[in-house]
Amino acid sequence: MTIIIGLVITLGCMLGGFVAMGGHIEVIWQPWEYLIICGAALGTFVVANPMKTIKDVGRGLVEVFRMLTPKPREYLDVLGVLHALMRELRGPARNELERHIEKPAESPLFQRFPTVLLNADLTTFVCDYCRLILMGNARTHEIEALMDEEIETMRHDKLKSYHALVTVSEGLPALGIVAAVLGVIKAMGALDESPEILGSLIGAALVGTFAGIFFSYAIVAPVAAKLKIVRHKKMRLYVIVKQTLLAFMNGAMPQVALEHGRKTISVYERPSIDVVEQQTFAAREAA
């Protein structure tokens, strides 16, 4: 929604200011100039990126326009499933935990936290490190180093689409110049025409420069920045898991370990400790 609002404000002020200066909107409407710029940008984007990144950009744009960042329920579910798993790890029947982490989709423990199950990558991340803890011979600093490496790898992969869009935004002004030069070439072929026609052709050519800069700094670059924010917020869920499990491995009680994870959530979105305790108590009672 904020993207639509921002574009409306940008276009309204730009076009409104242009009209107020005495400009004519129809002069800006040069579809072939736009086709040259957008087509060249799309082509270079396809050339520069593998198919996986191209598809991920499509998924990323959906995430941006729908603002699919973690909601409070997702944070609470992550903390809830970690609390349940840590209680199993501390209990006398900790070997029963294996059936939960081997087939989480069939586990009644995971089924109590549906938003975690919907995130297959996060579920795998949680199960993998609970399995290492269950083995009992892993050292905390080794697990931490492994978690850091995996999280950094995932972050790098998740931001490939951001870097792809940034590359496109950086190239758009130059592609706008290409469109403008082609327009000027066309105008040079009409030097024998009247000044009105020649002026119209030159004006149409300059629209290419305007469009390249506008598409770059007013559309693609802001969308890329929004994508980076969305992906960073999604990676926060993995940091919560990391800090919680490391605290647990260092001897903290499950409820105390949850505090280590809760504190990594942005202060603007962080659930209160009372809410976390109520949710974990309710989940424990439901079990």
**Average pLDDT across the chain, whole number:** 88
In a domain, 3, yes or no: no
In a domain, 8, yes or no: no
d(CA 29, CA 34): 9
Domain extent, residue 51, equals 30-287
In a domain, 254, yes or no: yes
For 235-251, the pLDDT digits (tens) are 999 999 999 999 999 98
In a domain, 66, yes or no: yes
d(CA 141, CA 246): 9
In a domain, 198, yes or no: yes
Here the tokens at position 249 are 């491995």
Residue 208 neighbours by CB under 8 Å, 6+ apart: 30, 33, 36, 37, 176, 177, 178, 179, 180, 181, 182, 183
For 65-123, the pLDDT digits (tens) are 888 889 999 999 999 999 988 888 876 666 677 788 888 888 888 888 999 999 999 99
d(CA 147, CA 152): 8
Q: Which amino acid is at 41?
A: A
In a domain, 127, yes or no: yes
For 211-234, the pLDDT digits (tens) are 999 999 999 999 999 999 999 999
Q: Which amino acid is at 191?
A: L
Q: What is the pTM of this model?
A: 0.87
For 58-75, the pLDDT digits (tens) are 999 999 988 888 999 999
Task: Classify residue 205 as exposed, middle or buried by CB count within 10 Å of its CB (0-12, 13-18, 19+).
Answer: buried
- ∠ CA 135-139-145 to the nearest 5 degrees? 115
- pLDDT category at 24 given cuts 50, 70, 90 is confident
In a domain, 140, yes or no: yes
In a domain, 119, yes or no: yes
Here the tokens at position 177 are 């110049």
Give the chain's domain count.
Answer: 1
